[in-house]
């Protein structure tokens, strides 16, 4: 057996083990009883240590060195490069830290659920402090191995190869553009006709049926996945068992609909990853910026477009028995295009959303460095919301307790949301140019041309190229802000 073949076998086993961890974590978050949380935390920790031990086996280093001298095709070379990157992340940590961090994040997530519901930041403090401390230790160890900053080392776990300098460049541009643009949009809205929100209640079963219908139309394979309900919409699982969730509000069907469409974008990426490279690093999604680009392309670029609304509004009218002015196209388009600074990131419109992300980027870097003591987080959060969005949360439930990411140890993740929005604008613009009649097809409920384009240009590429290489091949440009800004101007100031 060649060194490369030995690596493929090792990483296949680890991928299957990681899939088991993913599914157990999904059950923990959605359908398993709270009383079993501690035991599941132990199980996840054991699986995490097992996976870590497989990666740090001294034989892996020898196999990597030998494989890099073999004659390999382009996919195999990319696979070895991804193996090397993952190996470097793993060998930077010792097993005790891996186990401690797994247990700490599992416990903290469960405490966060209660603390958020009770608006009790103090109850979360000790467990979150532990998670941040352990994450800092891991980041520092990886920084030493990669020769980067602590934050950059953590960022590489979610967006390989990305640097703080790149994020700072993109975010500086957005910080300069968004506040005056937001003011212009709010002024235009105030001068124009308002909108009325259709009155509920809207039965959960009906909302779910509409969501399932749209998932099917977009190409989601229900033989390899399912939709469930959770406090926070998300997608998890493995490519042949993709689990996505949404949440339902009795008086507002738009939240569940857009949440379902967002997660469907993630799910399509997972289901369409290159099957011949399943269980290999090169067969996984490239990174979270591209993953978020696929969800935001579906939710923002596609599903709020006039063409899509022309297709979906008759379905909504029929499903909910909607009649009258509230259900007319122009009113519902104003509803879906309404811009308003708010407290909750996941409910934010696409104009204000990046400002939520910029705030979290600032705060998580300060928490990680120790410049921001955890006890001062609520105040710093509220100050940042006032500065960037002009609003101040009335309590921590609507402020620093709203997201699960930090309790789950996902520090370095937030920038990928806005990077994904930028990439989504570039992809959708390129797809429109390539297809030619995309708006007409969408209005008829025909999505095959779009999903085929995305599958070819993004999904089936897996991790065989970098994010910017994938973007440049598909759109002609590396990641930037121009397509996103042009999209916002067109939709909110000219349409």
d(CA 430, CA 474): 7
| pLDDT tens string 259-298 | 999 999 999 999 999 999 999 999 999 999 999 999 999 9
Q: Which residues fall within 8 angstroms of residue 137, CB to CB, at 6 or more apart?
A: 97
Q: Under CATH, which architecture does the 160-495 domain have?
A: Orthogonal Bundle (1.10)
Neighbours of 460 (CB within 10 A): 16
Angle, vertex CA 20, rays to CA 14 and CA 26, nearest 5: 135
Alpha helices in 297-414 (DSSP H): 306-320, 329-336, 353-369, 377-389
3-state secondary structure of 13: helix
Q: Which residues fall within 8 angstroms of residue 434, CB to CB, at 6 or more apart?
A: 453
Tell me, what's the pLDDT at 17? 65
Please indicate whether residue 263 is annotated as part of the active site.
Answer: yes
Q: What is the mean pLDDT of residues 355-367?
A: 98
| pLDDT tens string 215-230 | 999 999 999 999 999 8
DSSP states of 31-47: TS-GGGHHHHHHHHHHH
Q: Which residues fall within 8 angstroms of residue 43, CB to CB, at 6 or more apart?
A: 24
Q: Which residues fall within 8 angstroms of residue 373, CB to CB, at 6 or more apart?
A: none
Of the pLDDT bands very low, low, confident and very high (cuts 50, 70, 90), residue 34 is: low
DSSP states of 142-193: HHHHHTS-HHHHHHHHHSTT--HHHHHHHHHHHHHHHHHHHHHHHHHHHHS-
C-beta separation of 419 from 170 below 8 A: yes
Residue 21 pLDDT exceeds 80:
no
Angle, vertex CA 26, rays to CA 22 and CA 31, nearest 5: 150
**What's phi and psi for 77, nearest 5 deg?**
-60, -45
In what helix (H) or strand (E) does residue 5 lie, and over which residues does it extend? helix 3-30
Tokens describing residue 463: 């991790």
Tell me, what's the pLDDT at 31? 56
C-beta separation of 47 from 24 below 8 A: yes
Per the prediction, the chain carries an average pLDDT of 93
| Burial class of residue 223 in the structure, from the number of CB atoms within 10 Å of its CB (0-12 exposed, 13-18 middle, 19+ buried) | exposed
Q: What is the mean pLDDT of residues 350-367?
A: 98
Neighbours of 62 (CB within 10 A): 12
Residue 66 pLDDT exceeds 50:
yes
Residue 38 pLDDT exceeds 90:
no
What distances in angstroms separate CA 303 from CA 116, 218, 244, 307, 395, one per listed residue? 30, 11, 18, 8, 32
Neighbours of 59 (CB within 10 A): 11
Tell me 272's DSSP state.
Answer: T
What pairs with residue 127 in β-bridges? none
Tell me, what's the pLDDT at 237? 87
Report helix angle 95-118 to 37-56, nearest 10: 150
Of the pLDDT bands very low, low, confident and very high (cuts 50, 70, 90), residue 28 is: very low
Task: Tell whether pTM > 0.85.
Answer: yes
Strands of 170-258, DSSP E: 225-229, 235-238, 241-246
| Burial class of residue 34 in the structure, from the number of CB atoms within 10 Å of its CB (0-12 exposed, 13-18 middle, 19+ buried) | exposed
| pLDDT tens string 288-332 | 999 999 999 999 999 999 999 999 999 999 999 999 999 999 999
Question: Where do the structural domains in the chain lie, given as residue ranges?
Answer: 3-147, 160-495
Tell me, what's the pLDDT at 136? 97
Report which of residues 255 and 357 the model is more confident about: 357
d(CA 369, CA 363): 10
What does R_g of the chain's alpha carbons equal in angstroms?
22
C-beta separation of 196 from 326 below 8 A: yes
| pLDDT tens string 435-484 | 999 999 999 999 999 999 999 999 999 999 999 999 999 999 999 999 99
Tell me, what's the pLDDT at 52? 80
CA 365 to chain centre: 19
Of the pLDDT bands very low, low, confident and very high (cuts 50, 70, 90), residue 18 is: low
Q: Which residues fall within 8 angstroms of residue 33, CB to CB, at 6 or more apart?
A: none
In what helix (H) or strand (E) does residue 141 lie, and over which residues does it extend? helix 121-146
Of the pLDDT bands very low, low, confident and very high (cuts 50, 70, 90), residue 343 is: very high
Tell me, what's the pLDDT at 32? 60
d(CA 401, CA 396): 6
Q: What is the mean pLDDT of residues 87-107?
A: 93
Residue 26 pLDDT exceeds 60:
no
Of the pLDDT bands very low, low, confident and very high (cuts 50, 70, 90), residue 192 is: very high
Which member of 8, 159, 263, 364 is catalytic?
263
Tell me, what's the pLDDT at 43? 77
Q: What is the mean pLDDT of residues 67-86?
A: 96
Tell me, what's the pLDDT at 20? 53
Q: What is the mean pLDDT of residues 113-137?
A: 97
Report which of residues 431 and 113 the model is more confident about: 431
């Amino acid at each position: 057996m060649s060194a490369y073949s030995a690596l493929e076998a090792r990483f296949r086993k680890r991928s299957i083990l990681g899939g088991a961890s993913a599914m157990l974590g999904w059950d923990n978050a959605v359908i398993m009883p709270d009383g079993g949380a501690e035991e599941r935390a132990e199980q996840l920790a054991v699986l995490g240590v097992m996976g870590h031990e497989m990666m740090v086996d001294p034989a892996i280093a020898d196999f990597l060195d030998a494989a890099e001298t073999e004659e390999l095709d382009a996919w195999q070379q990319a696979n070895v490069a991804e193996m090397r990157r993952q190996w470097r992340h793993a060998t930077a940590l010792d097993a005790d830290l891996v186990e401690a961090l797994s247990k700490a994040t599992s416990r903290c997530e469960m405490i966060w659920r209660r603390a958020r519901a009770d608006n009790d930041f103090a109850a979360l403090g000790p467990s979150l402090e532990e998670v941040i401390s352990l994450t800092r230790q891991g980041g520092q160890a990886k920084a030493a191995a990669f020769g980067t900053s602590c934050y950059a080392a953590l960022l590489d776990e979610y967006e390989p190869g990305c640097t703080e300098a790149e994020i700072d460049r993109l975010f500086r541009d957005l910080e300069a553009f968004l506040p005056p643009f937001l003011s212009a949009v709010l002024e235009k809205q105030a001068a124009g006709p308002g909108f009325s929100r259709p009155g509920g209640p809207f039965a959960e079963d009906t909302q779910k049926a509409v969501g399932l219908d749209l998932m099917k139309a977009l190409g989601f394979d229900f033989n390899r996945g399912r939709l469930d309900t959770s406090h926070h919409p998300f997608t998890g699982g493995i490519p042949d068992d993709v689990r996505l969730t949404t949440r339902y509000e009795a008086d507002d069907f738009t939240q569940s609909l857009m949440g379902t469409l967002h997660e469907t974008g993630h799910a399509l990426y997972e289901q369409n990853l290159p099957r011949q490279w399943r269980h290999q690093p090169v067969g996984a999604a490239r990174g979270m910026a591209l993953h978020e680009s696929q969800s935001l392309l579906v939710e923002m670029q596609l599903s709020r477009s006039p063409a899509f609304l022309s297709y979906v509004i008759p379905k909504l009218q029929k499903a909910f028995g909607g009649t009258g002015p509230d259900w007319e196209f122009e009113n519902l388009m104003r509803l879906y295009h309404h811009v308003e600074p708010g407290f909750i990131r996941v409910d934010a419109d696409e104009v204000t959303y990046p400002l939520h992300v910029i705030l979290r980027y600032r705060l998580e870097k300060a928490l990680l460095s120790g410049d921001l003591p955890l006890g001062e987080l609520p105040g710093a959060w509220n100050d940042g919301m006032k500065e960037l969005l002009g609003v101040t949360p009335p309590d921590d439930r609507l402020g620093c307790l709203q997201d699960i990411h930090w309790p789950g140890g996902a520090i370095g993740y937030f920038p990928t949301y806005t990077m994904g929005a930028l990439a989504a604008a570039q992809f959708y613009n390129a797809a429109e140019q390539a297809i030619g009649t995309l708006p007409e097809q969408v209005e008829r409920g025909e999505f095959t041309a779009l999903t085929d384009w995305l599958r070819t240009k993004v999904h089936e590429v897996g991790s065989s190229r970098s994010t910017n290489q994938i973007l440049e091949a598909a759109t002609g440009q590396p990641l930037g802000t121009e397509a996103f800004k042009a999209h916002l101007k067109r939709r909110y100031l000219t349409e």
